[in-house]
Structure 1
Amino acid sequence: MAGKKLDRTNARTALEVVRESPTIALITIAPAVVVFGVVWWLVNFWAALLLVVIFGIAAVATGKLR
């Protein structure tokens, strides 16, 4: 794959998939929301937000985020 940019065709295709089957999007994001909520409940909001930022930086640094 030459470049990781999302062009209009791929963006529209992704939106169509989510529109046709929102369950796929829900299943994909649900674990992250649950972890965020549990950390918020156990510690506090700022710790949960810090965890999101750390995981985001780690995902970008390792190249797993596309």
Structure 2
Amino acid sequence: MSKEIDPARARSAIEVVKQHPGMVLFLASPGIVAVVAVWLLAGAGWGILLLLALVVGGGVAVARKLR
């Protein structure tokens, strides 16, 4: 049985991002710094791979939280 995202919560989350983009950037900054550092030190391929891993890992974390 899948659990659907509550539309009111989704709209609330989008409104928070619209009203406080600096807070969202602050929360994402460790990941951004890590991707840039790996990109510069190990190359673009590893940077892209890390970015994909962070996006997939974040998606899995959100999906598990919803269950």
Q: Same fold by TM (over 0.5)?
A: yes
Task: Please list every run of 5 or more consecutive structure 1 residues that lacks an aligned counterpart in the other structure.
Answer: none
User: Which structure carries more helix by proportion?
Assistant: 2
RMSD: 2.2
Paired with 1:20 and 1:50, the residues of 2 have a C-alpha distance of 31
Cα distance, 1:21–1:48 mapped onto 2, change above 3 Å: same
Higher relative contact order (CA 8 A, sep 6+): 2
Percent same amino acid among aligned pairs?
29
Task: Please list every run of 5 or more consecutive structure 2 residues that lacks an aligned counterpart in the other structure.
Answer: 63-67
1:10 aligns with 2:9: yes
- 1:26: which partner in 2? 25
Number of aligned pairs? 60
TM-score (norm 1): 0.69
Paired with 2:35 and 2:56, the residues of 1 have a C-alpha distance of 16
